[in-house]
Homo-oligomer: A and B are copies of this chain.
Amino acid sequence: MTNYFSSNFKLGILGGGQLGKMLLYNTRKFDIYTCVLESSNEAPCKIACDEFHLGDLMNYDDVYNFGKQVDVLTIEIENVNVNALETLEKEGVKVYPSSKSLKIIQNKAKQKLFYVDNDLPTAPFSRFAYTSEIEEAINHGGLSFPFVWKSAQFGYDGTGVKIVKAIQDLEGLPNVECIAEKLVPFKNELAVIVARNPSGETKTFPVVEMEFHPEANQVEYVICPARIPDDVAKKAEDIALKTSQAFSHVGLLAVEMFQTQDDQILINEVAPRPHNSGHQTIEASYTSQFEQHIRAILNLPLGKTDSKAGGVMVNLVGAEGFSGDVIYENIETIMKMDGVTPHIYGKKQTRPFRKMGHVTIVNEDLGEARRIAEEVKKTIKVISK
């Protein structure tokens, strides 16, 4: 086994954003030499890595030339040039997650087909080469309202997803490869982060519950553990594990799921990396998701995923009506509250619903943590000067 702690080993990270930054804290704890590729000199990862490389994550040559210099290559964002990863894998670079996983995950239609092929529960859907084909399907009775339109590629955090209740809702949507998914009424949105290392050791973090902002389609609170019956939690965990195994996934896989009205679990989508639904692990878990990702991709033993305390995460997003140089109003007031830690991402400009940071609330009593989280949410305002 490679001794990562005392060799000339290099870890490469594609993407230099906030997730990368939080990942880097843990590489430094283990004294691992890191190289980051990102297209902007303003990237949060510019400091805290050993080598910062400027380049386009979607450009074959940039990714290939960067990857050739490292021993293990990972990502903090899934929109990267997968063909370059394929070549690198053939040439002996360890790429986690694999190009095979990423190819499936990058395309929502392929992702859905993968679930069906692997007998993993997901909402019924139809795939279309172009949005314009949907109308025809409706006219021929192959599709009925309401449904969820999802762009097959590059959609995240509210872009590339729309609930379609009538034909006019299709207006203005890009004419791209897409899916139309049955709108399933659900009780809860849940997520489980699974870690798996190349030796096949697997661990899951506790099931979390996500409360979404009704307008922005962004997660507002993440609650760990989810306040659901044990048998439902067990079912969600089993499905998440089965998903990770189906991908032969290495690293973290965040599996987002719906808990339906009749307590069925349906997979919504997955993310092959540290995830917003795992930020509370920094303060609440024995092992943070970031440390766990490092342990997994380096084939180290996985850390304990139990919680030390109840955790609630609040996303800090730009307030409506404010754009410009950011101010975190009342941040000092929330720092007085019990077990509250803000994480500020350092973006200089705010705009409505822009993700500017997150706040974690930990407490022995989860109900109390949730109560304080609401107070945090009401108190801090991300506005502009």
Cβ-defined partner of A48 (8 Å) among B28, B295, B331, B336: B28
Is A344 part of the contact surface with B, judged by Cβ < 8 Å? yes
Q: Which residues of the partner chain B approach A291 to less than 8 Å between Cβ atoms?
A: 341
A300-B25 in contact given A6-B328, A286-B362, A308-B309 (Cβ < 8 Å): no
Is A273 part of the contact surface with B, judged by Cβ < 8 Å? no
Chain B proximity mask over A273-284: 1 for CB below 8 Å, otherwise 0? 000000000010
Q: Which residues of the partner chain B approach A385 to less than 8 Å between Cβ atoms?
A: 6
Is A3 part of the contact surface with B, judged by Cβ < 8 Å? yes
Cβ-defined partner of A29 (8 Å) among B6, B30, B339, B341: B341
CA of A3 to CA of B380 in the docked complex: distance in angstroms?
Answer: 13
> Contact between B300 and A344 (Cβ–Cβ < 8 Å)?
no
Interface size on A, residues (CB 8 A): 44
Q: Which residues of the partner chain B approach A362 to less than 8 Å between Cβ atoms?
A: 286, 308
Cβ-defined partner of A344 (8 Å) among B5, B332, B341, B346: B5
CA of A96 to CA of B308 in the docked complex: distance in angstroms?
Answer: 33
**A residues 335-360 touching B (CB-CB < 8 Å):** 335-336, 338-339, 341-346
A303-B6 in contact given A341-B29, A344-B29, A344-B30 (Cβ < 8 Å): no
Is A327 part of the contact surface with B, judged by Cβ < 8 Å? yes
> Contact between A301 and B332 (Cβ–Cβ < 8 Å)?
yes
> Contact between B346 and A31 (Cβ–Cβ < 8 Å)?
yes
**Candidate in A21, A49, A308 with the most chain B CB atoms within 10 angstroms:** A308
7 interchain pairs (CB within 8 A)? A5-B328, A6-B326, A24-B48, A25-B25, A47-B49, A304-B338, A308-B309
